[in-house]
Chain A
């Protein structure tokens, strides 16, 4: 925040960094950001909830982001997502035990690897329902 001279204009940059540091934006964190940038709290929450990038809930230990862009979609991404959801939780949520988060995304720009899944920030290429199932076995999901 000091890098941006505590300017209110830097709200999005600050939220980005905060999310990177803490993994998610807690109400307390948002409150202190609002206070330090001298912004109304409602605007800070408004911006944080407008962009899908920001998460107000803690992410699971493992995160799966299934690309649902056209190329991945045609190559079978919906089946991958269904398999993943079946074993863990619905897209956009985290399992109750905090182990796995699942999300869908628009094209991630790796169409050559379709269908692609981002697993903990790493790209898995040409994913099938079977391979994603194996990955879940490996991390110990029932």
Chain B
């Protein structure tokens, strides 16, 4: 493990080789936006919100899966990057039916926060208004496909941390959807352990606790770091 020095947004930062640009930036107070990344789960570089400019590279690189290199010069905010991020968030809003005013995580939502951060006051794209349903067959939790951004955090936490692999993604493209087992109602799944990890990591109100009214749901993600450090280092810190 060697120490790597690099420049992020004009600030000299140090990290350890093998760390990602994303982690080093966050450790140094540079908050790169993200949706699919969540500390403790494997990175997949899918949402493209953490794209950054690296000097000497023509292409934009996703910070969450780019390892740091000595002497790297990284820019995390530029007009070009903001334009890309805005478009990504607009596409997410246009793709499904995100209605904040009736959502359990209104004002505690990562998608909403991103929109606010990027100054998104309108969507330039045509809304798709897909006809999607909510699955409330589970005793304690619900899944509303209308609010899902397909970040697959739930799929990964269920597979990697809980180990049940109840969730997966079915179909492809615009028809993609999160499924439990063989596409059966969540409540009938015999692999689900009802641990609720997926509900807590979900960035939006797609996975929610039942019995919560609008804006009432808060997500607790502390457990993830707790479990992962316990497993990897044998230290139980909360």
Chain A positions near chain B (C-beta within 8 angstroms): 27, 30-31, 34, 40-46, 49-50
Contact present for A42 and B171 (CB under 8 Å): no
Closest CB in chain B relative to A27 CB, distance in Å: 5
| Chain B hits for A31, CB < 8 A | 182
The residue among B159, B170, B181 with the most chain A CB atoms within 10 A of its own CB is B181
Contact present for B172 and A42 (CB under 8 Å): no
- Given A31-B182, A41-B182, A49 and B166 contact (CB-CB distance below 8 Å): no
| Chain A hits for B181, CB < 8 A | 40-42, 45
Residue of A nearest to B178 (CB): A42
Chain B positions near chain A (C-beta within 8 angstroms): 159, 164-172, 179-183, 191
Between-chain CB contacts (< 8 Å), 26 pairs: A27-B182, A30-B182, A34-B182, A40-B159, A40-B164, A40-B165, A40-B168, A40-B181, A41-B191, A42-B165, A42-B167, A42-B168, A42-B179, A42-B180, A42-B181, A42-B191, A43-B165, A43-B168, A45-B168, A45-B170, A46-B168, A46-B169, A46-B179, A49-B170, A49-B172, A50-B172
Question: In the complex the two chains form, what is the Cα distance from A22 to B221 in whole Å?
Answer: 45
| Chain B hits for A30, CB < 8 A | 182
| Chain A hits for B180, CB < 8 A | 42
The residue among A31, A34, A42, A45 with the most chain B CB atoms within 10 A of its own CB is A42
Contact present for A40 and B166 (CB under 8 Å): yes
| Chain B hits for A42, CB < 8 A | 165-168, 179-182, 191
Contact present for A46 and B170 (CB under 8 Å): yes
Top 7 A-B residue pairs of the complex, sorted by shortest distance between their CB atoms? A42-B168, A40-B165, A46-B168, A49-B170, A41-B181, A49-B171, A41-B182
The residue among A30, A31, A49, A50 with the most chain B CB atoms within 10 A of its own CB is A49
Question: In the complex the two chains form, what is the Cα distance from A34 to B164 in whole Å?
Answer: 14
| Chain A hits for B167, CB < 8 A | 42
| Chain B hits for A46, CB < 8 A | 168-170, 179
Question: In the complex the two chains form, what is the Cα distance from A46 to B165 in whole Å?
Answer: 12
Question: In the complex the two chains form, what is the Cα distance from A41 to B159 in whole Å?
Answer: 12
Question: In the complex the two chains form, what is the Cα distance from A43 to B172 in whole Å?
Answer: 13
Closest CB in chain B relative to A78 CB, distance in Å: 22
| Chain A hits for B171, CB < 8 A | 49-50
Residue of B nearest to A47 (CB): B168
Residue of A nearest to B167 (CB): A42
| Chain A hits for B165, CB < 8 A | 40, 42-43
Question: In the complex the two chains form, what is the Cα distance from A31 to B169 in whole Å?
Answer: 17
Contact present for B182 and A40 (CB under 8 Å): no
| Chain A hits for B159, CB < 8 A | 40
Contact present for B179 and A45 (CB under 8 Å): yes
| Chain B hits for A44, CB < 8 A | 182
